[in-house]
């Protein structure tokens, strides 16, 4: 069974920008509720279908499958909640671990998040100086929440 163990952070500064090239992601949600999500994603002209279950701590079951690009494109246009989430993802190595930084576009422009995937919930890792406050578990920062409640509408 697939498992995702992930921690999410705001960014403290722009020092990460010198460290990597970005890739455009388009993703949408066929189903998004607190217990499960079904996501469609396109990046690098490839399509993916991802199913995630309810989390326990910072872990949750995750199953991801590559699907034909044309199928993913059709699902995004016809089956997913709108607006479709768009972001540029940067992959940056820091002390032998990969950080993924998402720079959101469209209705979520201005939001920047850093994520790190871990092998275990207790895994120790070094936080780069450009990583700020942790927001793991705060639902409004979930990608599925950003479709329903975009960053542009946040009051604080």
Residue 7 DSSP SS3: strand
151 belongs to the catalytic site? no
Nearest residue to 132 (alpha-carbon basis) of 8, 6, 11:
11
Q: Assess contact for 24 and 43: CB atoms under 8 A.
A: yes
Q: Given 29, 142, 149, 151, which residue is catalytic?
A: 29
Q: Whole-angstrom Cα distance, residue 114 to residue 16?
A: 10
Q: Which residues on adjacent β-strands are paired with residue 90? A: 22, 101
Q: Which positions are annotated as active-site residues?
A: 29
């Amino acid at each position: 069974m697939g498992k995702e163990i992930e921690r999410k952070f705001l960014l403290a500064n722009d020092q990460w920008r010198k460290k990597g090239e970005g890739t455009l992601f388009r993703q949408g949600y066929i189903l998004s509720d607190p217990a499960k999500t079904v996501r469609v994603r396109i990046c690098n002209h490839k399509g993916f279908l991802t199913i995630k279950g309810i989390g326990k701590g910072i872990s949750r079951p995750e199953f991801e499958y590559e699907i034909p690009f044309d199928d993913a494109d059709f699902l995004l246009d016809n089956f997913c909640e709108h607006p479709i989430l768009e972001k540029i993802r940067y992959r940056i190595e820091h002390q032998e671990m990969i950080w993924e930084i998402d720079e959101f576009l469209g209705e979520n422009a201005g939001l920047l998040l850093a994520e790190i995937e871990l092998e275990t919930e207790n895994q120790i890792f070094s936080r780069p100086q450009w990583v700020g406050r942790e927001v793991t578990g705060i639902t409004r920062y979930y990608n599925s929440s950003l479709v329903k409640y975009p960053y542009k509408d946040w009051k604080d």
